[in-house]
Structure 1
Amino acid sequence: MPERTVAAPEPSADEALAVDLLVLAARFTRWAGRAADGGMPTALWRALSQVDELGPLRVSALAALDRTSQPTATALVQRLERHGWVERSSDPDDARASLVATTPAGRQRLTEQRAAAGRALAPQLGALSGQQHEDLARGLAVLRDLVAHAPPGG
């Protein structure tokens, strides 16, 4: 007997917009990461950004946020520690656990990496028309507002 397939329901306009935003944001982020001449591997940049934004946090929380395994998150944290970009401290709620937080050197490195990406992408943004530039600025304001109202850790 042939297998019967059920067509997926048509996405709502908001769902379609969300998918388009997710796909384009991911592509833009990968493009920025490749364009940045800051020398930081993307995985370290992503992990350091998350710790800086949400830390101090446990390695298990970083793994969950990054949707990766605990051993992978542990390895990332160890690499960040070797560079002096994060440090661990005792978790006041559980003496067996530690919290990971960004160091001043880590924040500086993150600033440098983001600046390198900004310099790399600026020529493309400079090529936009005045109207496109205004549209992008308005879109960023909307995105900033969406992110500001996201659930914690989102």
Structure 2
Amino acid sequence: MTSSHHFQPHDLVFTSSVFARHAAKLADVGVSSVSWRVIAAISRRGPLRPREIASLEQVSRPTATIFLQRLEKKGLLQRAVDPEDSRSVLFDLTDQGREALSTWRVSLDGALAPRLQELSEKDITTLIEAQNLMQRIIAEEN
């Protein structure tokens, strides 16, 4: 790294986490950030097994299963038999789950828009580049 700035990866992780919680609080989405992360992941990837959710969220499989059951009880997820393994299940979004995700995204965008409008075009470009870099790093791991 040939920058005069002293980069600490842990600072990036901490700041990203705090930013996500701050955004959820501003938007008052009514659910935990884990809920919308799981629902967004299923929206992007399609139906997922509990072990896949556990891996994405870095929790044990029993913890993921309990969490998925809560989202299912709220009507946001539905389960189906895994066609590749009839002993396993897949969780997918319900219509209510898709609607909730859309509402959450609008709320998050609306809550953050006034703060982002204060930034310069250069700052917005920097954020987009940082987002793209972070997505690339994540994609390399998955």
Distance in 2 separating the partners of 1:111 and 1:138? 26
What's the CA shift for 1:59? 0.4
Distance in 2 separating the partners of 1:101 and 1:145? 28
What's the CA shift for 1:32? 0.5
Residue 22 in structure 1 maps to residue 10 in structure 2: no
What amino acid sits opposite 1:120 in the alignment? A
Match of 1:34 among 15, 19, 25: 25
Deviations 1:44-102 (A, max 9, x none): 22221222223311101111111112222111111111222111111121110011112
Q: In angstroms, what is the RMSD of aligned CA positions?
A: 2.5
Residue 117 in structure 1 maps to residue 105 in structure 2: no
Residue 82 in structure 1 maps to residue 70 in structure 2: no
Give unmatched runs, 5+ long, in structure 2: none
Distance in 2 separating the partners of 1:53 and 1:142? 20
3-state DSSP class of the match of 1:72?
helix
**Paired position in structure 2 for 1:6:** none
Matched ranges for 1:5-154 at <5 A: 16=7, 18-128=9-119, 132-141=120-129, 143-144=131-132, 147=135, 150-151=139-140, 153=142
**Identity between Structure 1 and Structure 2 (%):** 32
- State which structure, 1 or 2, has the greater radius of gyration over its C-alpha atoms: 1
What's the CA shift for 1:41? 2.4
The answer on whether the counterparts of 2:54 and 2:63 sit within 8 Å (CA) in structure 1 is yes
What's the CA shift for 1:17? 6.0
Number of residue pairs aligned between Structure 1 and Structure 2:
139
The answer on whether the counterparts of 2:20 and 2:33 sit within 8 Å (CA) in structure 1 is no
